Structure 1
Amino acid sequence: MKLIRTAAAAAVLAAACAACTSSAPAASQKQRPAAVANIRLVSYSSCDDMLAGLRENAVKSVGPYGFGGGMMSYGDIAMAENSDARAAKDTGGGGNSPEHSTTNVHEAGADEPDLVKTDGNRIVTVHQGTLRIIDTASRRVTASLKLTDDQNGGYAPADLLLQGDRALVLMQNFEPMTKDRMIADYVGAMSSKYILVDLAGGQPRILSTIKPQGSHVDARMVGSTVRLVTRNQPTIVSPQARGDVSEEEMKKVNQNVVRQAPIDAWLPKIEITDASGATRTDSLKCERVSHPADYTGTSMLTVHTLDLAQGVTASGTDPIGVAADGDTVYSNGAGFYVASNPRWWFPIPWGPADAGRPRSSATPAVPTEETEVHRFDISQPGAPRYVASGKVPGRLLNQYSLSEHEGNLRVATTQATAETSSSGVYVLKADTMAKVGEVTGLGKGERIYSVRFMGPNGYVVTFKQVDPLYTLDLRDAAAPKVTGELKITGYSAYLHPAGDGRLIGLGQEASEKGRTMGTQISLFDVSDPANPNRLSQLFQKNSGSEAEWDPHAFLYWPKSGLTVIPLSSHDVGNGTSESGAMVLNVSDSAVTKVGMIKHPMIKQDQYSYEPSIQRTIVIGDSLWTLSEKGFQVNDINTLAEQAFIPLS
């Protein structure tokens, strides 16, 4: 026996399975672009109504090997992803805090979980299952709290949020393998745990632990209120497939199992343990679950609400649910969006050798790629209020593909067919999610590598062999337009504002044939939207930066133009590699390298290596960098080392 789950790994098999579904379009037909539409979530009239709807839709999605026609696995699968760093006021810890940066976030006012948080007077981080508080004045660890044992995720990374004297630690663990989990089908079971910690009084203590059923998607904190999104698939036990039973028969067996599944299979549980160790179990209620008109019944999103100042109250996490999938969270502090990408990634276009070759009936059909976006209002305390939903063609890159501005949501996606791909930006009215305008046809044959919306302007980078940086004028929401295009080799994987008319691009340089060569940092002049220009480029051969795929690792300090990125490089000739943080100065006209910060070597048996630097923050006149070994403090002007604080 094993559990049917919608596995992320099934996406790898989707292209092969798509041709087998009876609802797929003819393989010889070209995919038609999806229409932009606004959809609405509908509440169920009762638990019986909910169960009937979930069963009916889930039956359509189940196959001989589970949901989606792919692998079955036990547990949930973790899906495989800024405002300027700014001076902050004291938010706890006592005394006046020195001028300091935060870690990089998309929108000011909507804090994001990260590896490290600071209020200027103290730094809080979780390393190998232990929370530590570092006093920034004395530069030493002043308190610690073990949150988990090494056998239960002690070495799993943990993110956290900090507000006053409260920290919320967000942990995800791989559940251990058990005898009823098939090794061949095991893709990875995830469990989530949120731990509320009181930092006052010198010794941190756990106030409550929340264990929601399902995997963590993302979270945002506005003021002291955190909204957490989890995703779970129905826990439905299915007979193990047998070699003497046909796939069609197994499909019928699985469909019958789904038709008999109880409502509890879909409604996630929430286990809450208080400071005394007393535990209670809550459940998402039927009356708090909504659904789009078209849904699969194979995934449930739950939005939990927790005010760090109040802690867990009688209402628990006040959960609301959506019978839909979702993997991207975006918020600007008032609006809260959860978006679901298509299950298929970009199909591989036919190459030149296939030109003119007739399509066979075995050629997999390409499913229509659509992204659903659900908007909630979080401007008031308490649980989010559902506002509206919308649907756009194509697939998001990440949360930076979304931006709300003056009552409109801008959404950048790439839509792929079997032959080619192109990208577009769609403008939706935030209160109805109805389409207002669109501009399409960007980067034909390419996909989006980075997006940045800045006020009424947008910037989109697509890439295959060269990097067109498109500048967009979004002032007229009904008629957005491309105003300029800059073609350069390589691409920017992350874009960051650097003052009026300036944009920093971090990514990879590439040959004219599209072969990546190493990290490049570009300074773009976008003051004239019709004529974007690159003012300066810094190229580091045979290297890469974590900030390319995780913007939290990027630091820009507007006060001086100080910019820091983690960098790992290798020398192909002698087989050596090095890691550190590259310190740059970004002026109004140039990017220049200031130096490198490196942490002490880590020695394991006969092997030594330089630890990768994961985060950088500014506190007063010092740069604090974090690696798996600890924190290092360097002078912000000379880069001279001032202290090292080990974490293990």
Structure 2
Amino acid sequence: MNEDKDKLNLSDLDKINVSHELKHKTINRCLYNRKIKKPILTKAAIAFALVFVFIFSTTSILANKSKTLESSSDYSMERLKSKEQLISMLNEIYKDRKYAGEDLNFGVQMKSESSNRSGHSNTNVQVEGIDEADIIKTDGKYIYSINQFKNEIIVIKADKKAEVINRFNPKDFIEGKEASEYQKDYQREIYVREMFLYEKRSKKYLVVMSSVNRYKNTNNSQGNPELQPFTRDSKVSIMPIRFGIYSTLVSIIDITNPQYFKPIKQFEVSGNLMSSRVKNNMFYMVTNKWTDFYFYRQEKSDDILPFYIEYGDNIVKKKISPENIMYNKNNIDSNFTIISEINLDELDIFNEAILGNFDNMYMSKDSLYLTSMRGEEIKKGTDNQSDASVSYYKNKTIIYKFELKNKVNYVSFAEADGLIINQFSMDEYKGYFRIATTEDIYSENKVNTTNSLYVFDKNMKLAGSLKDIAPSERIYSTRFDKDKLYMVTFKQVDPLFVIDLKNPKEPKILGLLKIPGYSTYLHPIDSKNILGFGMDTGNIDERVINKGMKIALFDISDLSSPKEKANIEIGGKGTFSESLYNHKALTVYDNLYAFDLFETKDDDSYMPSFRGLVLLEIKDDSIKVKCRISHSDLTNQEDYYTDYGYRAVFIDNYMYVLSNVGISVVNLDDMNIVQKEKI
């Protein structure tokens, strides 16, 4: 088998009888779906992936021969003029998809320790002053937590007893309320996702986002699904696809009296929730709407346009007009991205839509940025089956900038070679937008990888760049802190780079540190320390494998020579924490850090040894585990699988640990549990 792998060459793929256009589409799909993985790809693995996509994928590609950052493609936005223009564009996209599968798109300061702590923790956010939605919030008097298993919001009084005083679901507020278009033929399901806590003078509100799924009724007159007994003579057919209409419900709820909640306003917007932010009294949300064009043509539905519903005395469903839909002629996609803006004081909504799919969002105090991934051809292939050359492709990110003055307003776009990993790959500082990318160039029989940093001015014109950072490695985490960038790349060891951005036109590397393992999240503590959450690694048969979780404390007081002060390793293979990939799963309070943990034994068994929450203390250049809290003892054989969703909030001198199973109250002075019960 190994000998066969060594003989395999990607040039053999040209012998497959497929069109040159389909090859282009295939490579682009590979680029689009590129995620963070261990950087180990055999030739056979690459070949298999390409052949698989040749058969099943037919997405579009933007082909361009340019080898520089500046592309000949124009990705600027225009506005639609009519619904007919939209349908014409979608027809062009789908005309080649009749026999193929669908294109599915799926700075913090450390305070000194005190035994008399006061105040409460907040959601761990990227930009100070820009709140992010989460499944748990507190105002210091009450705790509001989304129980994902029970699909409800639980309200808990923040005292030693931690009494549950209320439970509710936003769907309860719209039971029986439905747009006339859906009252007869559709079923509706609502699932709570995330929420904000908004305070206005003496009033308090929860802004709750829920997923709404509508499906066409397939019931008989008795309201039960049509089920027929299977017999030998029964015909076997393919199970029909259950087409749905997906949207996001925004519920603004008065919680001034947490025992008697009152819905103030509810809006519903097309598409699945991508991300959201709150700045002062303004709520911003981005959703992605997938267009099932085949269903549209078959049913002659008018739902091709994204919509929004305003709930009140009269339930009004409105389409987002074509004049409020933007598109790029070189980047037409069948999906819609909707940017919604709600004034939480005036309770009105404004929607803009883009014909295209976006995967990441970053928001500063003045601007909102959306990114889209694309593939670019840099060496043209051929349809000649005897020609054993495969085109060369690379990936790139298209960035769209929107101003937040008055209403969301499109400004301009920019391109950056490579792809980003998450929102922390982007930052805005003193009018400059910075972005860190990993670039893959796909050639005949290998993938060349490198990393870059780009700086754009307020008009999204390239101001400076730093390229070829850690060739053959990939970015695993980044954190911008004013005029500095901390970046972790990885292949076999974990280099921590410190990059100087004082001069936006000439960024430069100040120093680096190489250690085993890698960090997937970096958390600044102060000007001299930064904390890394990631994984420890090892080598087996020339392969890099993950071991347990690793938390490392880095000394950055000398930017030219960063050092690892301390680290702690937890668990073995299979150990995982949501905080590794979701910064909001980490709660910070003074010098305490709480995060969920699924821990396995420190061997090769992958056997679970702990599930719960871990509290760390950073003190005197050391990392210490203060306590572990689990609710596994509150479960029984029937509901043990619900033991997940661990989060913590801190209020004064107590830590409140919540999960889908129970709640614990911990005294921070002695780490004793003063209350623990099932919820």
Give me the TM-score of the superposition, normalised by structure 2.
Answer: 0.76
1:405: how far off? 0.6
Residues 79-478 of structure 1 aligned to structure 2 (within 5 Å): 79=106, 99-127=119-147, 128-137=150-159, 139-148=162-171, 156=191, 158-164=193-199, 165-173=204-212, 190-201=246-257, 202-237=259-294, 266-274=304-312, 276=313, 278-311=314-347, 313=348, 317-342=349-374, 365=391, 367-378=393-404, 380=405, 382-418=406-442, 419-429=447-457, 431-478=458-505
1:47 counterpart residue number: 82
Please state whether the residue corresponding to 1:306 is helix, strand or coil: strand
Distance of 1:451 and 1:332 partners within structure 2: 17
User: Is contact 1:31–1:368 with CA below 8 Å preserved after alignment?
Assistant: no
Contact 1:31 1:366 in 2 (8 A): no
Residues 87-109 of structure 1 show CA distances to partners (whole Å, capped at 9, x for unaligned) of 9xxxxxxxxx9501102111111
Separation in 1, partners of 2:110, 2:547: 29
* Cα shift at 1:268: 0.4
Classify 1:305/1:436 alpha carbon distance in 2 versus 1 (closer, same or farther; 3 Å).
same
Letter aligned with residue 420 of structure 1: N
Alpha-carbon spacing, 1:10–1:489, altered in 2? closer, same or farther (3 Å):
closer
User: Residues 226-262 of structure 1: CA distance to partner in whole angstroms, max 9, x if unpaired?
Assistant: 01111213342369xxxxxxxxxxxxxxxxx79x999
Whole-angstrom distance in 2 between the partners of 1:178 and 1:421: 49
Equivalent pair of 1:24/1:365 in contact (CA under 8 Å): no
Distance 1:23 1:623, change over 3 A: closer
Matches within 5 A, 1:526-605: 526-542=556-572, 543-557=575-589, 559=590, 561-571=591-601, 572-573=604-605, 575-587=607-619, 589-605=621-637
Give ranges in structure 1 of 5+ residues lacking alignment. 1-5, 88-96, 240-256, 345-358
SS at match of 2:588: strand
Kept after mapping to 2: 8 A contact 1:39/1:391: no
Structure-2 change in CA distance of 1:266 and 1:152 (3 Å): closer
Alpha-carbon distance in 2 for matches of 1:174, 1:408 = 40
Q: Distance in 2 between matches of 1:11 and 1:184?
A: 27
Maintained 8 Å contact 2:80/2:324? no
What CA deviation, in whole Å up to 9, does each residue of 1:127-153 have, x standing for no partner?
223223222146222233233379965
Report Cα offsets for 1:138-195 as digits up to 9, x if no partner: 62222332333799656x4520011021111111256569779975877997442222
Structure 2: runs of 5 or more not aligned: 1-27, 35-48, 176-186, 220-236, 377-384
Q: How far apart, CA to CA, are the structure 1 residues paired with 2:59 and 2:325?
A: 30
Distance 1:265 1:482 in 2: 51
1:634 matched to 2:666: yes
Pairwise CA distance, 1:333? 2.2
Q: Secondary structure at the match of 1:105?
A: coil
Paired position in structure 2 for 1:507: 534
Q: 1: CA distance between counterparts of 2:188 and 2:626? A: 42
Q: Which amino acid aligns with 2:434?
A: R
Secondary structure in structure 2 of the residue aligned to 1:296:
coil
Residue 360 to residue 392, structure 1, CA distance change in 2 (3 Å): farther
Deviations 1:211-237 (A, max 9, x none): 222211111100121011112133423
Q: 1:376, 1:526 → 2: CA distance?
A: 34
CA contact (8 A) 1:153 1:173 kept: yes
Alignment-derived partner of residue 490 in structure 1: 517
* 8 Å contact from structure 2 (residues 634, 678) kept in 1: no
Structure with higher Rg: it is: 2
SS at match of 1:63: coil
Q: CA deviation at 1:508?
A: 0.2
SS at match of 1:237: helix
Report how many aligned residue pairs link the two structures.
Answer: 576
1:298 & 1:527 partners in 2: Cα distance? 49
- 3-state DSSP class of the match of 1:218? strand
Cα distance in 1 for residues equivalent to 2:618 and 2:251 = 39
Q: Which whole-Å CA distance do the structure 2 matches of 1:520 and 1:194 have between them?
A: 38
Contact 2:80/2:327 (8 A) holds in 1: no
Mapped partners of 1:86, 1:385: distance in 2: 39
**Are residues 643 and 17 of structure 1, via their aligned partners in 2, closer, same or farther at CA, if it must alter by over 3 Å?**
same
Residues 612 and 8 (structure 1 numbering): CA distance in 2 closer, same or farther, change over 3 Å? farther
| C-alpha distance in 1 between matches for 2:130 and 2:73 | 25
Deviation at 1:296, TM superposition (A): 1.6
Structure 1 residue 318 displacement after superposition: 1.0
Q: CA RMSD in A?
A: 3.9
> Structure 1 pair 98/158, CA: closer, same or farther in 2 (3 Å)?
farther
Q: Report the Cα distance in structure 2 between the residues aligned to 1:175 and 1:284, rounded to whole angstroms.
A: 19
Aligned counterparts of 1:35 and 1:567: Cα–Cα separation in 2? 44
C-alpha distance in structure 1 between counterparts of 2:343 and 2:594, whole Å: 33
Please give the TM-score of this superposition, normalised by the length of structure 1. 0.79
Which residue identity is paired with 1:55? Answer: S
2:29–2:59 contact (8 Å) kept in structure 1: no
CA distance in 1, matches of 2:92, 2:391: 22
